[in-house]
Chains A and B, each alone.
Chain A
Amino acid sequence: MIDRLLSHDLPRSRWLAAALTLVLLALALAPWLFPGAKALGVAAKMLVFILLVASYDLLLGYTGIVSFAHTMFFGIGAYGVGIAATRLGEGAGALALGLGGALLLSLLLSVLIGLFSLRVKAIFFAMITLAVAAAFQTLASQLSDITGGEDGLSFRNPTWLSPSFEPFDGPVAGVVIDGKLICYGLLFVVVLLGFLALLRIVNSPFGRVLQAIRENDFRAEAIGFRTVTFRTLSNVLAALFATLAGALLALWLRYTGPETTLSFEIMLDTLLIVVIGGMGTMYGAVLGSVLFLLAQNYLQDLMRLGAGALGGVPVLGTLVSAERWLLWLGVLFVLSVYHFPSGVVGRLRAWAVRPGRP
């Protein structure tokens, strides 16, 4: 059963399986285990990032394409929901329409970008997507009539997803169920299904072709696969899942803005997570997102303590101060690319096959 659900791509490491189970349980039971607005917010962001990063892994890890336009599709999803909710009112129909429109736009754009630039070298595609994403971000902040410009859009969700909605009279197992929790549940289910779907895609014959292209595109073409078609399809699929993740983020925050969905920082975060978690392993997206967001939200507190201890030392004190946490993550990123290109997950799996180790 589990084997079928995971598309025969089992964790293949006891520690990895344990970590994944822990993450699954913690995220499923987050409202009960970690009460409080901040903790739930972090958990929801983890869910969104798992889907976003997993979709990026399909592109980077499995197909070997570096795209810098992934946040563009993320943003399209968020703006689709945001614009539909502000224009058409707060119904489930409006949300569905917004999501549908966003998916359609992502589909068109990704096909266009793919056909236009995936024929040539990886480096060329990376640069083109960088430019397109920058232009799209400018566009979104310029069309302030539609997108709200730099301020973004705040909107209201349907009643059953808003915090004031309480279906049950009393608390359930000690926690009051409100619309916010229902929204969290919705996120959890969609992300779980989306992740399993992505796992299915990469382990299908289609996914095998993508990996063949990653390993040696010339040989893949020689065997008889049209690499341009497969690359474009991979690009389209990744874009659609990213759009979905963006829509979920907008739904959770009830807000969409250029900083939260389109900025280059998110693109870099995604890149960091994929590489540190493990390229070409869908599970890397899960572990990477969880670790990254924990670091982003809680490591800074820890580092503040360290900085307090080292406060007197001039250079070292600045380097370990809480604001510089990204520096250490960057160092970790570079070391990962060199020394363990398959990331945390790859390490765990390598340990598992070595005899005499857990």
Chain B
Amino acid sequence: MSTTPTTPSGPTGTPGIAAHTPAGMPGRAPAAIPRSRLDWRPLALLPALALAALPLTGSPSTWLTLTVAGLAMGLIIFIIASGLTLVFGLMDVLNFGHGVFIALGAFVATSVMGAMGGWAGEGAAANLLAVFCAMAAAMSVAGAVGWAFERVVVRPVYGLHLKQILITMGGMIIGEELIKAIWGPGQTPLPLPALLRGAWVMGDAAIERYRVLAALIGLAVFAGLLWTLNRTKLGLLIRAGVQDREMVEALGYRIGRLFVGVFAAGSALAGLGGVMWGFYQQSVTPQMGAQVNVLIFIVIIIGGLGSTLGCFTGALLVGLLANYCGFLAPKLALFSNIGLMVAVLLWRPRGLYPVTSR
């Protein structure tokens, strides 16, 4: 079972920063900047898994239902986990208190939906507006609390892993208790508005409406993240910070502001994910953060700590596998995540897309 933490050598390794072209030969046109090649193999696992499940599930309609459900679940998990992996990648802080922001977002959503109770029954536009208001409120509250959390709790312990784990764990205990104090310790229902209940039936396959919305929002978040990280100045700075924090600082950028911004954004994403997860479960509890925490840790370990693409792939793998297993062997489904994690780590000890500087 022993594995080495080093990246396997050869082309299977990191999606290359390795310069394939000799740089700066005199007297010749400057060689094109070596582009990083996309490592397609982990991504190919997704269709492979889906195809492998096709004969096992029996009928194509069941398969379609399960696949859509799995993708939607995976995308919700991705929204939650992306904040965590971003914060870890940039700041080397693993926030064990991430779960609190999930629960916080979900509880804010219950309040908003409660206040907008009349809207949930009326027309389609009002329904959607209520849901989006809940999401916006959850994101802003979670983001603001995340900003304060970074300032008060996390900032003094940058670079000290042991203390980070302890402190953020303590933050989670406090946050959970505060949520209990504000919203009560019990289970709070979070019903879907009328528009999003029920399913579309296509042939024999039933596709739940809410899952389609969840998948769309998840894809939008993924696209937004990729665009921000790869196409904007801000993203450039964040990626540079992931690679080498000190160098970015030396170039005159205030990395502290970047940190707190990314932390707040990550918390806001967790809040959004919390709302989606709450709607998905139709109820929220103060302990939901701690429960989801385990799942998202598995996802970011699978993906490679700090990698957004890895997080995306890992979340979809977990979502798909959980749904297929839940249908084929319900008892096994409870352990599918951990089995997947072990399998992935045996193949790539540092996750699907290891981040080079870690």
Contacts and interface: CB of A to CB of B under 8 A. Distances in A.
Interface of A: 64, 66, 112, 115-116, 119-124, 126-128, 130-132, 134-135, 138-139, 142, 264, 268, 271-272, 275, 318-319, 321, 323-324, 326-327, 329-331, 333-334, 337-338, 341
B161 A333 contact: no
10 contacts: A119-B3, A119-B5, A126-B96, A126-B165, A138-B334, A142-B334, A321-B181, A323-B180, A327-B177, A341-B163
B297 A131 contact: yes
B156 interface: yes
A124 B349 CA distance: 11
A318 B290 contact: no
B167, B169, B349 — which one has the most chain A CB atoms within 10 A of its CB? B169
A318 to B, nearest CB: 5
B297 A130 contact: yes
Given A123-B161, A337-B163, A134 B294 contact: yes
Contacts of A134: 294, 338
B42 to A, nearest CB: 19
A318 B166 CA distance: 26
Nearest to B2: A115
A66 B166 contact: yes
B141 interface: no
A132 B153 CA distance: 28
A116 B3 contact: yes
B161 A338 contact: no
A330 B177 contact: yes
Interface of B: 1-5, 94, 96, 153, 156, 161-167, 169-171, 173-174, 177-178, 180-182, 185, 290, 293-294, 297-298, 301, 305, 331, 334-335, 337-338, 341, 349
A259 B356 CA distance: 41
B338 to A, nearest CB: 4
A327 B177 CA distance: 5
Nearest to B296: A127
A74 B350 CA distance: 30
Contacts of A275: 166
A128 to B, nearest CB: 7
B178 A327 contact: yes
Nearest to B294: A134
Given A138-B335, A323-B185, A123 B297 contact: no
B335 A127 contact: no
A330 B331 contact: no
Nearest to B171: A334
Contacts of A323: 180, 185
A135 B181 contact: no
B161 A264 contact: no
Contact of B173 (A66, A119, A326): A326
A275 B341 CA distance: 30
B301 A128 contact: yes
Contact of A115 (B1, B156, B173, B334): B1
Main DSSP-derived SS at the B contact region:
helix
Given A142-B334, A334-B153, A131 B298 contact: yes
A331 B174 CA distance: 7
A139 B338 CA distance: 12
A131 B335 contact: no
Given A131-B337, A142-B334, 5 more contacts: A119-B3, A131-B294, A131-B301, A139-B335, A327-B173
B196 to A, nearest CB: 30
Given A121-B161, A123-B161, A324-B180, A337 B166 contact: yes
Nearest to A329: B173
Of A115, A131, A142, the most chain B CB neighbours within 10 A belong to: A131
A130 to B, nearest CB: 6
B341 A131 contact: yes
A123 B177 contact: no
Nearest to A119: B5
Contacts of B177: 324, 326-327, 330
A330 to B, nearest CB: 4
Contacts of A264: 290
A275 B297 CA distance: 24
Contact of A271 (B5, B153, B166): B166
A325 to B, nearest CB: 9
A122 B5 contact: no
Contacts of A324: 177, 180-181
A60 to B, nearest CB: 8
Which of A119, A318, A337 has its CB near the most chain B CB atoms (within 10 A)? Answer: A337
Given A131-B294, A131-B338, A271-B169, A120 B5 contact: yes
B170 A135 contact: no
Contacts of A338: 156, 167
A321 B185 CA distance: 13
A319 B181 CA distance: 6
A192 B5 CA distance: 40
Contacts of B338: 131-132, 134-135
Contact of A318 (B170, B181, B334): B181
Nearest to B175: A330
Contact of A123 (B5, B94, B153, B170): B94
Among B3, B153, B174, B305, max chain A CB count under 10 A is at B174
A142 B268 CA distance: 35
